[in-house]
């Protein structure tokens, strides 16, 4: 994209062209032009971006999959779709049991990103005709 980003905080940064591209593509997470691009991405934002980039159809949210994901929060549909597809499963306790929490506003760590990337490739890319591994 050869135009600057609409988000004033992203202008003049090293990531400005990438930010402008995401805005131009209409990615949900980039529609709010006042968001601070330097703050950590939330788990909900990352899931929403993954689904949108991979063109995954989203389900209507029920608000019953996770105790902390009511239908009314941003990206609830993305979170529930990702959980239905087993892209995400939410938090577990020390014994590996699901807690019923997803943590939509929690920042994403590298371990979670690696898991989501690998799982998304398995779910959405490896069986598609356009996937060409190196």
Residue 17: pLDDT band with limits 50, 70, 90: very high
What separation in angstroms does the CA of 40 have from each of 15, 47, 68, 110, 121? 14, 14, 20, 11, 23
Residue 132: pLDDT band with limits 50, 70, 90: low
Full-model pTM: 0.87
Residue 50, token pair as written in the block: 């993954």
Give the tens place of pLDDT for each residue, 45-68.
999 999 999 999 999 999 999 999
pLDDT at residue 127 greater than cutoff 60: yes
Residues 6+ apart with CB under 8 A from 93: 99
Taking each helix axis from N to C end, the angle separating 43-53 and 76-84, rounded to the nearest 10 degrees, works out to 70
């Amino acid at each position: 994209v050869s135009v600057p980003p609409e988000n004033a905080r992203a202008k003049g940064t090293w990531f400005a062209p990438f930010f402008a591209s995401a805005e131009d593509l209409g990615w949900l997470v980039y529609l709010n032009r006042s968001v601070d691009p330097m703050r950590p991405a939330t788990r909900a934002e990352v899931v929403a971006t993954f689904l949108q980039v991979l063109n995954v159809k989203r389900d209507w949210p029920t608000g019953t999959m996770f105790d902390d994901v009511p239908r009314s929060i941003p990206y609830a549909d993305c979170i529930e779709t990702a959980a239905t597809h087993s892209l995400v499963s939410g938090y577990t306790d020390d014994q590996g049991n699901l807690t019923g929490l997803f943590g939509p506003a929690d920042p994403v760590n590298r371990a979670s990103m690696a898991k989501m990337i690998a799982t998304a490739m398995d779910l959405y890319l490896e069986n598609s005709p356009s996937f060409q591994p190196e």
